[in-house]
């Protein structure tokens, strides 16, 4: 089957180092970046200097927006917010051991604390964002998406089932993952923890 869609690259960007968190809720979502995180966001903009960027999207959470904002400023592009790029909410209440809860959630995609979001539901909404943007950009290009560690891991898991809890926990801040859609399907082309893949789909 021949597709009329041109190839589309997506750079998934996990936010840089955030200020310390508190209880789940609006205040936690408003956390910005540490001084080191701000510097890393500026470095990220420089690192991507040689790449053409068609559009920049982000989770509405402040730490994600602040990470892609320097790139947007350099390119004179608007950061377009997409609510479904927000982080997966493990619980609406503080957790005694959030890492143990996250590990359980990776082991069971349908597990959720009361009021929380299952991994399956979070993955479904995140992949739907990719498909929405694929439709929005039929002529291809390169998009930058600012988001969060657990949600990005769930996106990657949908394409590479070997992505797991350990991968999620090892993801640095910031981190970049390159996806491509060749007109037919999404593929992971590289990023932290992946071997680079060329445009023919072969591991380098």
Q: What is the pLDDT of residues 25-45, one digit of tens each?
A: 556 788 999 999 999 999 999
pLDDT band at 204 (very low <50, low <70, confident <90, very high): very low
Residues 6+ apart with CB under 8 A from 54: 137, 141, 142, 143
| 189 pLDDT above the threshold of 80 | yes
Specify the pLDDT at position 24.
58
- pLDDT: is 121 or 96 the higher one? 121
| 2 pLDDT above the threshold of 90 | no
Specify the pLDDT at position 192.
87
Q: What angle do CA 88, 93, 94 make, to 5 degrees?
A: 95
Cα 19 to Cα 27, 79, 101, 147, 171, distances in angstroms: 12, 21, 22, 16, 17
Specify the pLDDT at position 195.
66
| 81 pLDDT above the threshold of 60 | yes
- pLDDT: is 115 or 193 the higher one? 115
Domain ranges of the chain: 8-178
Q: How many CB atoms lie within 10 A of CB 175?
A: 19
CA atoms within 13 A on the CB side of 170: 9
Specify the pLDDT at position 29.
85
Specify the pLDDT at position 136.
97
Segment 182-199 shows an average pLDDT of: 82
| 65 pLDDT above the threshold of 50 | yes
Element (H, E) at 158: helix 149-159
DSSP of 73-90, one letter per residue? HHHT--EEE-GGGSPP--
- pLDDT: is 42 or 95 the higher one? 42
CATH architecture of structural domain 8-178: 3-Layer(aba) Sandwich (3.40)
Rounded Cα distance between 90 and 145, Å, is 21
Provide the whole-model pTM: 0.93
pLDDT averaged over every residue in the chain: 92
Q: Is the dihedral of CA 62, 172, 44, 188 positive or negative?
A: negative
Specify the pLDDT at position 158.
98
Q: What is the pLDDT of residues 130-174, one digit of tens each?
A: 999 999 999 999 999 999 999 999 999 999 999 999 999 999 999
Specify the pLDDT at position 4.
80
| 93 pLDDT above the threshold of 60 | yes
Residue 200 is given by DSSP the state: T
Rounded Cα distance between 32 and 112, Å, is 26
Q: Is 29 exposed, middle or buried (0-12, 13-18, 19+ CB in 10 A)?
A: middle
| 101 pLDDT above the threshold of 50 | yes
Segment 96-120 shows an average pLDDT of: 96
65 touches 109 (CB < 8 A) = no
114 touches 91 (CB < 8 A) = yes
């Amino acid at each position: 089957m021949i597709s009329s869609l041109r190839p589309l690259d997506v750079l998934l960007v996990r936010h840089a180092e955030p200020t310390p968190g508190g209880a789940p809720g609006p205040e936690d979502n408003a956390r910005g970046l540490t001084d080191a995180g701000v510097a890393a966001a500026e470095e990220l903009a420089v690192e991507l200097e040689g790449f053409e960027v068609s559009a920049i999207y982000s989770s509405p959470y402040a730490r994600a927006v602040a990470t892609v904002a320097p790139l947007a400023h350099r390119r004179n592009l608007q950061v377009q917010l997409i609510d479904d790029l927000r982080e997966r909410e493990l619980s609406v209440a503080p957790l005694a051991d959030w890492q143990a809860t996250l590990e359980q959630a990776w082991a069971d995609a349908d597990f959720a604390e009361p009021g929380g979001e299952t991994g399956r539901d979070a993955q479904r909404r995140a992949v739907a964002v990719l498909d929405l943007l694929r439709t929005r950009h039929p002529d291809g290009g390169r998009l930058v998406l600012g988001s969060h560690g657990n949600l990005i891991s769930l996106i990657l898991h949908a394409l590479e089932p070997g992505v797991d809890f350990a991968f999620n926990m090892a993801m640095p801040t910031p981190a970049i993952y390159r996806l491509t859609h060749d007109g037919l399907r999404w593929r992971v082309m590289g990023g932290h923890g992946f071997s680079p893949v060329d445009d023919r789909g072969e591991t380098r």
